[in-house]
Chain A
Amino acid sequence: MSRDKSKLLYAETHEWVDMSEEGGQKIATIGISDFAIEQLNDLVYMDLPEVGKTFDAGEEFGEVESVKAVSPLYCPVAGEVIEVHEGLPDNLDGLNDDPYDFGWVIKLKVTDDAGLGSLMDYPAYQKQCSESA
């Protein structure tokens, strides 16, 4: 599997969302954009939620920490955590090298997709990044 970053949705807070369907259920796979990873630099720690937890759109679900600072991870869409990338905190180099495939963070069963409307497509997200860089 190779995820095409130009086909993903993005939150203003730099999380990416890959929407899919499994058995009629909307599933959101969530990760952190390469731009954010590069800005964070020197990752040292990651805190992830447990399976079964539910989050509202915009709610903090974990954190990623670089040498310099802690950055909260915000849930781009409301849902229940159905899978967590357990090995990721032990392989932050992998997240750094491959944020879109290896670096996925959590999978959610979407409970309310209203939050999707406020996400950006790739060109809009690129524009945000170039303005903040």
Chain B
Amino acid sequence: MSQAEVSSLAQTPLDQWHRDAGAKMVPFAGYEMPIQYDSIVNEHEACRTKAALFDVSHMGRLRFDGDGSAELLDKLLTRRVVDLPVGGVRYGTVCNEQGGILDDVLVSHLKTPSDQFYHLLVVNASNRAKIVEWVKQHLDEFPTVTFSDRTELTAMIAVQGPLAMETCRKLFSFDPARLKYYQATITDQFSKPVIVSRTGYTGEDGFELIVRAEEAKRVWENVMLAGRDAGFAPAGLGARDTLRMEAAMPLYGHELDESTDPISAGLSFACNLDDRDFIGRDVLAKIKAEGPKRRRIGLLPEGRRPAREGCAVISKDGREVGTITSGGPSPTLGKPIAMAMVDVDVVGETEFEIDIRGKRSAAVATKLPFYRRPKTAS
């Protein structure tokens, strides 16, 4: 990488903390991000057994104030937004007119301490510029909406793992354990505002925090301190990827892209097609009625050789029927896992082969997700 490319990368407010902690930094979606501090496997295990902290400040945070915010987002998202209660969070996709996925997003409906209401859209870092542009194209129809990109003014921290909630109950004025899954609120730490949402991208319980950029280091260190005895560890993008893969959560650019619709990608739950209109609706309704041509499936390659993104999937009768969208070793299962988009006529078959750089490996279809956290009473 040339010097010019390095210097054009952005840094998150936690950049120096990562470097001081010995993180290996890599370019990702225009940011320099920690890929790992010590070992991806150790960070993965910390998240599955204790808790891990992730700097996810690179993700885009877009704010919508004013009357019509819900209606604007309702038009842009495949998920219904107009009836999202205050304190609610929903997962959805943003599609183009052809039903192709522009991004997958989380939308929250929040109330400030001074009783103002707004919607917050969290988008993928790699799609932020595209979504900002997309929003601006549709803003004219909603003249009372004020749209602002809050990404660079704020930081975002994910705290994920079985001990995350219990350990952090006293960190904020509001006990985050009072939030149900997919709820969010604005609280504070030492009188500085913090958005807390019970969401995540690891398959574990936990929460995500959004704070002002200048508060990021203090909040991160306070969480680390609170979790010191519990064994909290910082984790990088490497572990974030293996964790979300085990939980079968799609990643934009892999399972999702503009040539893929949310129905085929297995995200029907994120599409409310009835009694409403949104961009891409008619195409998606047609795909749902006719059935998608491709589907996302899980595969367990036999042996220890991981099948990675881009490998061809071969049916038992020797036809190329799909492509691996994400794959790699699963630290929790101790063997390789993979997700693939395959032709719908082979969905339900159990035996496949994967072409890994010219060599065929056998693989067995399996139900997604690969990992589900043990149910706890809460």
Q: Which residues of A contact B34 (CB under 8 A)?
A: none
Q: In chain A between 20 and 47, which residues have their CB closer than 8 angstroms to a CB of chain B?
A: 41-42, 44-45, 47
B40 within 8 A of A: yes
Mask, A86-115, CB within 8 Å of B = 1, is: 000100000000000000000000000000
B328 and A67: CB pair below 8 A?
yes
B305 and A67: CB pair below 8 A?
no
Query: Which listed residue (A44, A47, A68, A70) contacts B238, Cβ 8 A?
Result: A68
Q: Which residues of A contact B35 (CB under 8 A)?
A: 68
Chain B residues touching A, majority SS: mixed
Q: In chain B between 319 and 378, which residues have their CB closer than 8 angstroms to a CB of chain A?
A: 328-329, 331, 336, 357, 359
Min C-beta distance of A36 to chain B, whole Å: 14
A41 and B40: CB pair below 8 A?
yes
Query: Which listed residue (B40, B357, B359) contacts A67, Cβ 8 A?
Result: B40
A65 within 8 A of B: yes
Q: Which residues of A contact B242 (CB under 8 A)?
A: 67
B148 within 8 A of A: no
CA of A70 to CA of B39, assembled, Å = 16
A67-B238, A67-B329 known; A42 vs B41 contact (CB < 8 Å): yes
A45 and B305: CB pair below 8 A?
yes
CA of A22 to CA of B36, assembled, Å = 44
CA of A63 to CA of B336, assembled, Å = 16
A41 and B39: CB pair below 8 A?
yes
Q: Which residues of B contact A89 (CB under 8 A)?
A: 304
Q: Which residues of A contact B39 (CB under 8 A)?
A: 41-42
Q: Which residues of A contact B68 (CB under 8 A)?
A: none
B308 within 8 A of A: yes
A68-B35, A68-B238 known; A44 vs B40 contact (CB < 8 Å): no
Min C-beta distance of B245 to chain A, whole Å: 11
B36 and A41: CB pair below 8 A?
yes
A67 and B41: CB pair below 8 A?
yes
CA of A68 to CA of B327, assembled, Å = 10
B87 within 8 A of A: no
Min C-beta distance of B19 to chain A, whole Å: 13
- 26 residue pairs bridging A and B, Cβ less than 8 Å apart: A41-B36, A41-B39, A41-B40, A42-B39, A42-B40, A42-B41, A44-B304, A44-B306, A44-B329, A44-B336, A45-B305, A45-B306, A47-B305, A63-B357, A65-B305, A65-B306, A67-B40, A67-B238, A67-B328, A67-B329, A68-B35, A68-B40, A68-B241, A68-B328, A70-B308, A89-B304
**A41-B36, A44-B336, A68-B328 given. 17 additional CB < 8 A pairs?**
A41-B40, A42-B41, A44-B304, A44-B306, A45-B304, A45-B306, A45-B329, A47-B305, A63-B357, A65-B306, A67-B40, A67-B238, A67-B328, A67-B329, A68-B35, A68-B238, A70-B308
Chain B contact residues, CB within 8 Å of chain A = 35-36, 39-41, 238, 241-242, 304-306, 308, 328-329, 331, 336, 357, 359
